[in-house]
Structure 1
Amino acid sequence: MRDLYNAKLARLSDEIMEMGNLCGQAIMKTCQLLASVEICETASKEIGKIEKEIDDKEHNIEALCMQLLLKQQPVGTDLRKISAALKMVTDMERIGDQATDIAEIMLTGSVHVPVTAIPLQEMAEHAMHMVNDSVTAYVEEKSDLAKKVIDSDDLLDNLFNQIRKALDMNRMGYSGDEILDLLMISKYYERIGDHATNIGEWAEFSVDGIHRNGDSISDLFNPNSL
């Protein structure tokens, strides 16, 4: 019985890592959209397919977590690991949604690519690294890596502010529609960073038993929080 339980816990880590990898792939595809107009339609379709896989992973992980909670009644570190996973998948699902939103803007909006006048590509790449590192921190139980992700959100915020100021001054000759689209894209990347920070905080909690928002285990199982 214990062997089956341990196997399911190991599977939970594998599923979380796979879902995180899918999120990273979706963000990487948006980087490609910013760099080349020729791959726009193909990459957009691929992002939509990845988003569907992310949604499926979310449902699978939630079902696995509920099996572990209801049938095994875990405590201590195991309980933190499972409850953190339930929180993390919500953020990962939203990352998939936002990558899809970026792709839709790139496909149907007014932005001309490649986008090089503002550090949007740098912002995308930093967001992708934050997501990858936050998931790795959870799977490999590295609270120091989780803290690094949380701290690095300031860099993404600074890039967003830099882009916003540059677009406000508009010395690049963008049209009004382009400015709105670029602001929206940069805002989505900033939100992805926020979700990566949330994942990092839950990774930290799963290892150290401390959450920066002060949530307790009982708070995690409030029906309104799941």
Structure 2
Amino acid sequence: MVREHFTHQIEEIKRKVLRMGSMVENIINIAVTALKEQNAEMAKKVYIEDDEIDAMELEIEEQCMRLLALQQPIAKDLRTITTALKIITDLERMGDHAVNIAKIVIEIGKEPLIKPLVDIPKMADMAQEMVRLSLDAFVKEDKALARKVAEMDEEVDKIYEEILKDVLELITAKKDTIRQGTKLLFIGRYLERIADHTTNVCERTIYMITGKLEEIN
């Protein structure tokens, strides 16, 4: 009976981590949609969503700490709980990056964009997919999926390099684009960091499954 209750608690933690991941996916989508539509009011919603993500992180952390204190888990159970604690830290930071994007959206306001937004939304779509799939790998304990998701980070890096190249060429040719160009580069950087955090999730998931820490990329 005690073991059954403990297993139920771990499954509940996994479900909450998955829900937190869905919230992070949503906040990234809101931030980048606000950028595409140049909608400052939408960008402000990111702050509210981020508060909810922070609250969810604390809730999961408290539940994990209670399990560690009361059940004193070992081996795989211990790795699962400590992995959940690591993952929610990465998810919280992803939310912070979305907030940083929202801040820039508000700063840009309605000023004409210096270039069409093609690569940034593409990066955002990939980052959101990586968040979703990395957490699927965690919940399903799927090592192969974790590796596959981590490999997607290379494609995100390539898109970021394209953004860097295009914007640097533009601001070199037209000095009046430097201010906004720099902000767009920051947005690309924040999305690239979100993808990096999903790689962390994948590495911790593989550790949870195998008991071995390894760098994937």
TM norm. shorter chain > 0.5: yes
1:120-139 superposed matches below 5 A? 120-139=120-139
Residue 53 of structure 2 aligns with which residue?
Answer: 54
Deviates more, 1:113-122 or 1:143-152: 113-122
Cα deviation digits, residues 26-77 of structure 1 (max 9, x gap): 111122123212xx23321221111011101111111111111111111222
| Alignment correspondent of 2:147 | 147
Q: How far, CA to CA, are the matches of 2:40 and 2:185 in structure 1?
A: 21
| Cα distance in 2 between the residues matched to 1:117 and 1:61 | 36
Query: Counterpart of 2:157?
Result: 157
- In structure 2, C-alpha distance between the alignment counterparts of 1:164 and 1:114, rounded to whole Å: 14
Q: What is the aligned length?
A: 212
Per the TM alignment, residue 115 of structure 1 is displaced from its structure 2 partner at its CA by 6.0
1:181 pairs with one of 168, 180, 183: 183
Instruction: Say if 1:156 and 1:190, in contact at 8 Å, map to a contact too.
Output: yes
Which residue matches 1:197? 199
Cα distance, 1:132 vs. partner? 1.1
For residue 167 of structure 2, what is the aligned residue in structure 1? Answer: 167
Shift of 1:118: 4.6
How far the C-alpha of 1:25 sits from its partner, in A, is: 0.3
Amino acid in structure 1 at the alignment position of 2:47: G
Distance 2:208 2:165 in 1: 38
- CA-CA distance at 1:176 after TM superposition: 1.0
The residue aligned with 1:2 is 3
Distance 1:114 1:208, change over 3 A: farther
Residues 1:8 and 1:145: Cα distance change in structure 2 (over 3 Å)? same
Query: Percent of aligned positions with the same letter in both sequences?
Result: 31
Q: Which amino acid aligns with 2:203?
A: E
Give the direction of change, closer, same or farther, for the CA distance of 1:114–1:141 in structure 2 (3 Å limit): farther
For 1:74-133, what per-residue CA distance to the aligned partner results, in whole angstroms no more than 9, with x for missing partners?
122211110111111111100000101101101113664596355111011111111111
Cα 1:169–1:59, aligned 2, differ >3 Å: closer, same or farther?
Answer: same
Measured in 1, the distance between the counterparts of 2:203 and 2:138 equals: 9
RMSD: 2.1
Q: TM-score, normalised by structure 2?
A: 0.91
Consecutive unaligned residues of structure 2, counting only runs of 5 or more, are none
2:211 aligns to what?
209
Q: Hey, what's the Cα distance between the residues in 1 that align with 2:124 and 2:35?
A: 9
1:17-96 equivalence runs, <5 A? 17-37=18-38, 40-96=39-95
Q: How many angstroms apart in 2 are the aligned matches of 1:186 and 1:13?
A: 30
Using structure 1 for the length normalisation, give the TM-score.
0.87
Secondary structure of 1:170 counterpart: helix
Q: Which residue of 2 aligns with 1:219?
A: none
User: 1:112, 1:146 → 2: CA distance?
Assistant: 40
Deviations 1:112-169 (A, max 9, x none): 4596355111011111111111111101111111101111111111111111001111
Matches within 5 A, 1:104-123: 104-109=103-108, 112=112, 116-123=116-123
Equivalent AA in structure 1 for residue 7 of structure 2: N
CA distance in 2, matches of 1:196, 1:61: 18
Instruction: List alignment gaps of at least 5 residues for structure 1.
Output: 214-226
